[in-house]
């Protein structure tokens, strides 16, 4: 190493132009790998973190669609009403059966009480008392069955009103009044709900780049961190948010491309971002101290 510096000193004195060129070449040859990553650019895509496909557990004809494309709904908001005449009749019939079972239960209880009184006075046989106890047990079972039947009928009736499972914006309604809704796992969803307040940008990152950002001091725990920051821009160059930090990574590594899928959460307070948008992701290279590191990325 000393020999190299002696040679450089001679060159600086005798050949200043050549020495400057050589020094620049040596600098770039031994510059940190992160510096070369500053020119890297990755194609990312905006994704929805909270989304839900809405299906129906009931079958029937659509009576009314209660929302439109783009509407924002809270969880539990009614989205669609199916015709429910038969389901309502089933509830009424089950309620009547329950009332009948409760009346028979009261009658059986009364007969058992009278049989017990007669038995104490010797006016009733043990067989009669046993019959009364058996009838009471049967009446209790009949009431329990009627209660179950009513609960099933009420559930079927409630299922004809389809509600939002999550809060979000309505996307791609596929039914209208008069449509036939069938319970089939192969059918497309009736609606899709997307929460635009919870988005992330996902992109493919070279595995070596990803590994270099991991905090190896936490290897004995499941928690990993990444000190690299990324800038996200739209295709027209509009910066979305500075200092994006990776918050998650895929389990699988793509051996063909040498990359791993990673993502970072984005703020979307103005709801200007939409799932499916393409963006450019660029590493931001600058010194990062231990105090600046973020420990939010965890291995799934």
| Residues 266 and 299 sit within 8 Å (Cβ to Cβ) | no
- The one-character DSSP state at 165 is S
Token pair of 199, please? 């988005």
Average pLDDT score, the chain: 80
Q: Which class in CATH covers the domain with range 32-50+195-292?
A: mainly beta
Q: Is the pLDDT of residue 28 over 60?
A: no
| Residues 233 and 227 sit within 8 Å (Cβ to Cβ) | no
Residues of the chain with CATH 2.40.30.170: 32-50+195-292
131 contact partners, CB below 8 Å, separation of at least 6:
115
CA distance 296 to 300: 12
Q: Is the pLDDT of residue 287 over 70?
A: no
Residues of the chain with CATH 2.40.50.100: 52-83+160-194
User: What would the pLDDT profile of 75-120 be if each residue is shown by its tens digit?
Assistant: 999 999 999 999 999 999 999 999 999 999 999 999 999 888 887 7
Question: Could you tell me the CA-to-CA distances from 79 to 55, 96, 204 in Å, in that order?
Answer: 11, 31, 37
- pLDDT band (50, 70, 90) for residue 13: very low
Domain at 84-159: CATH architecture: Orthogonal Bundle (1.10)
| Residues 49 and 169 sit within 8 Å (Cβ to Cβ) | no
| Residues 252 and 189 sit within 8 Å (Cβ to Cβ) | no
User: What would the pLDDT profile of 138-154 be if each residue is shown by its tens digit?
Assistant: 999 999 999 999 999 99
CA distance 117 to 104: 20
User: What does the angle CA 42 – CA 32 – CA 299 come to, to the nearest 5 degrees?
Assistant: 50
Q: Is the pLDDT of residue 216 over 90?
A: no
Question: Residue 259 has what pLDDT?
Answer: 94
Q: Is the pLDDT of residue 187 over 90?
A: no
Residues of the chain with CATH 1.10.287: 84-159
Q: Is the pLDDT of residue 212 over 90?
A: no
Question: Residue 150 has what pLDDT?
Answer: 98
Polymer length of the chain: 300
Fold (topology level) of 52-83+160-194? OB fold (Dihydrolipoamide Acetyltransferase, E2P) (2.40.50)
- pLDDT band (50, 70, 90) for residue 124: low
User: What would the pLDDT profile of 172-186 be if each residue is shown by its tens digit?
Assistant: 888 999 999 987 766
Q: Is the pLDDT of residue 300 over 90?
A: no
């Amino acid at each position: 190493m000393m020999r190299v510096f002696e040679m450089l000193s001679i060159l600086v004195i005798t050949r200043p132009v050549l020495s400057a060129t050589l020094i620049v070449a040596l600098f770039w040859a031994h510059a940190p790998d992160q510096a070369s990553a500053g020119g890297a650019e990755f194609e990312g895509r905006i994704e929805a973190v909270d989304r839900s496909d809405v299906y129906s557990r009931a079958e029937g004809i659509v009576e009314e669609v209660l929302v439109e494309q783009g509407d924002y709904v809270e969880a539990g908001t009614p989205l669609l009403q199916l015709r429910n005449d038969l389901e309502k009749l089933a509830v009424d019939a089950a309620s009547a059966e329950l009332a009948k079972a409760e009346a028979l239960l009261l009658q059986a209880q009364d007969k058992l009480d009278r049989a017990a009184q007669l038995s104490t006075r010797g006016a009733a046989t043990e067989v009669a008392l046993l019959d009364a106890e058996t009838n009471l047990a049967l009446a209790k079972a009949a009431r329990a069955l009627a209660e179950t039947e009513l609960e099933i009928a009420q559930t079927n009736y409630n299922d004809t009103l389809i509600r939002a499972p999550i809060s979000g914006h309505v996307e791609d309604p596929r039914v209208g009044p008069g449509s036939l809704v069938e319970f089939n796992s192969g059918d497309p969803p009736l609606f899709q709900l997307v929460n635009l307040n919870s988005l992330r940008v996902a992109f493919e990152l070279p595995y070596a780049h990803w590994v270099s950002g991991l905090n190896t001091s936490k290897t004995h725990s499941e928690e990993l961190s990444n000190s690299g920051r990324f800038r996200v821009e739209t295709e027209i160059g509009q910066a979305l948010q500075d200092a994006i930090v990776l918050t998650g990574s895929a389990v699988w590594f793509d051996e063909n491309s040498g990359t791993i899928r990673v993502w970072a959460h984005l703020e979307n307070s103005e709801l200007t971002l939409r799932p499916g948008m393409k963006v450019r992701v660029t590493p931001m290279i600058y010194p990062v101290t231990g105090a600046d590191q973020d420990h939010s990325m965890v291995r799934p």
